[in-house]
Amino acid sequence: MSDDVIALGQPTVGEAELAAIAEVFASGWLAGAGPTCRRFEERFAAATGTRHALTTANCGSALHLALLTLGVRPGDEVVVGDYTFPATGHAVMWAGAKPVFADVRPDIWTVDPAAVEAAITPRTVGIIAVDAFGQPADYDELRAIADRHGLFLVEDAACAAGATYKGRPAGSLADVATFSFHGRKGITAGEGGAYVTDRDDLAAHARKLHTYGVEGALTRAELSDLPIPAFTELGYNYRLSDVAAAIMLAQLDRLPDLLAAKRRTAARYGELLKDHELITTPHEAPDREHPWQSYVVTLDPSIDRGAVALGLRRRGVQCTFGTYASHVQPLYGQSAPCPVSADLFARHLAIPMHANLTDAQVETVVATLVDVVASAATGR
């Protein structure tokens, strides 16, 4: 990427990550689910306030494991927050069930508890709430709904590492939570994910399923005899490599500084854009700490978002849409509308957000955005 282009997202990596990788190379165990994965899992469980963490190939595989371990079967329905990357709905379909999408709050873009309640049918077995761009959903209300109807609750915390809800860390807010370590996430190994839970039974089942349905090589290596595993259940290869886990250990050390840097950037964006009538800045609920995985503004309905995106990119500022209104995707075939999510899908614009942004770059992004939006408003 050219030095004069301001990146939409950018990992913060360097000597610490290289040293961690070198340590894994020296150990001779590069494969998945090894001792470095185990070390990261212990630390990540502590960071998320949970008893168990399991590293996975990505967040989608962690979501699939969550649904399988919670007993989802073909013919079941799972209520899903609509405004999300389709991995959430896909995971429900991978388990053979049907995702039923519920509309979201217009202010923080997480699933509306009232919409969840309205979407429940006799076939509903659970709820997946999505922490939109990292900000947690309304878990107290969602837990009450789940308990009232005998449903499970999953937290799709793909973007939420470091976030909190009423003082509790993201990951500890549901029966199972899942995280992403994709390149645009708050902490990253390029790819990867995690499944976290307090339940011993779910954690043990997930660990078995993520290694083809048997105990992993590390567990077998710790035994004194020569155990020969038997395959009694269909499993998957959802393991994270120890090389990626080493990177994640270094990234976890960086997390407080990364969060602080992005919070400063979010505050500066908010200050510079607060008086612009055609651009609405994102809202942080007062009882939550937003990790700012992305910074997403809402454009006035009169503004041609495509023209704004083109103008920004031509002037060296990367951008993209927010995320997907899942219910309009042809794959899912849902006819029930989610008007708030559909409106956000049409008007959201993500602008650069990462921990490496300088004050000068933030000011350039804002000045460029304001100018391009003004041009779009006048039709120039």
- Whole-number Å distance between alpha carbons of 290 and 288: 6
- Whole-number Å distance between alpha carbons of 360 and 137: 33
Tell me whether residue 10 is in a domain: no
Residue with structure tokens 């602008």? 351
Asked whether residue 89 falls in the same domain as residue 159, the answer is yes
The domain that holds 224 is classified in CATH as 3.40.640.10
Tell me whether residue 124 is in a domain: yes
Residues taking part in catalysis: 185
Tell me whether residue 9 is in a domain: no
pLDDT at 309 over 90: yes
Tell me whether residue 3 is in a domain: no
Asked whether residue 19 falls in the same domain as residue 164, the answer is yes
Q: Can you give the pLDDT at residue 182? A: 97
Asked whether residue 159 falls in the same domain as residue 61, the answer is yes
pLDDT at 322 over 70: yes
Q: Which of 251, 278, 312 is where one domain is finished?
A: 251
Q: Which amino acid is at 304?
A: D
Question: Taking all residues of the chain, what is their mean pLDDT, rounded to a whole number?
Answer: 96
Q: Can you give the pLDDT at residue 227? A: 77
For 16-45, give the DSSP string: HHHHHHHHHHHHT--SBSSHHHHHHHHHHH
Tell me whether residue 199 is in a domain: yes
Q: Which of 251, 278, 308 is where one domain is finished?
A: 251
pLDDT at 86 over 70: yes
Tell me whether residue 372 is in a domain: yes
Asked whether residue 130 falls in the same domain as residue 199, the answer is yes
DSSP assigned state of 189: S
Asked whether residue 232 falls in the same domain as residue 293, the answer is no
Domain residues for 96?
15-251
What is the tens place of the pLDDT at every residue in 342-380? 999 999 999 999 999 999 999 999 999 999 999 999 865
Average pLDDT of the residues in 141-157: 98
Asked whether residue 226 falls in the same domain as residue 239, the answer is yes
- Whole-number Å distance between alpha carbons of 348 and 325: 11
Cβ of 207: how many Cβ atoms within 10 Å? Answer: 22
Residue with structure tokens 């990146």? 7
DSSP assigned state of 135: B
- Whole-number Å distance between alpha carbons of 133 and 136: 9
Average pLDDT of the residues in 317-321: 98
Asked whether residue 210 falls in the same domain as residue 326, the answer is no
Tell me whether residue 133 is in a domain: yes
The domain that holds 369 is classified in CATH as 3.90.1150.10
Average pLDDT of the residues in 274-301: 97
Helix residue ranges, H only, the chain: 15-27, 35-47, 59-69, 87-94, 113-119, 139-149, 200-209, 217-221, 242-273, 305-314, 339-347, 359-378
Tell me whether residue 5 is in a domain: no
Q: Which amino acid is at 240?
A: L
Q: Can you give the pLDDT at residue 378? A: 81
pLDDT at 220 over 80: no
Report strand pairing: 176-180 vs 193-197. Answer: antiparallel
Q: Which of 251, 282, 301 is where one domain is finished?
A: 251
Exposure b/e, 104-142, CB count within 10 A at least 16 = b:
bbeebbbbbbebbbebbeeebbbbbbbbbbbbbbbbebb
Asked whether residue 238 falls in the same domain as residue 347, the answer is no
Q: Which amino acid is at 309?
A: A
What is the tens place of the pLDDT at every residue in 166-212? 999 999 999 999 999 999 999 999 999 999 999 999 999 999 999 99
Say if residues 265 and 295 touch (Cβ distance below 8 Å): yes
Reported confidence tier of residue 222, pLDDT bands at 50, 70, 90: low
Average pLDDT of the residues in 219-246: 86
Residue with structure tokens 């083109």? 310
- Among 238, 136, 244, 112, residue whose Cα is nearest residue 181: 244
Asked whether residue 212 falls in the same domain as residue 280, the answer is no
- Read off φ and ψ for residue 321, nearest 5 degrees: -70, 175
Asked whether residue 62 falls in the same domain as residue 74, the answer is yes
- Among 158, 151, 164, 149, residue whose Cα is nearest residue 177: 158
Q: Into how many domains does the chain fold?
A: 2
Q: Can you give the pLDDT at residue 97? A: 98
Asked whether residue 235 falls in the same domain as residue 319, the answer is no
- Whole-number Å distance between alpha carbons of 333 and 34: 41
Helix axes 242-273, 359-378, angle to 10 degrees: 60
CA 295 remoteness from chain centre = 14
Reported confidence tier of residue 262, pLDDT bands at 50, 70, 90: very high
Q: Can you give the pLDDT at residue 244? A: 98
Asked whether residue 247 falls in the same domain as residue 264, the answer is no
Q: What is the CA radius of gyration of the chain?
A: 21
| Residue 277 CB-density burial (10 A; 0-12 exposed, 13-18 middle, 19+ buried) | exposed
- Read off φ and ψ for residue 320, nearest 5 degrees: -160, 175
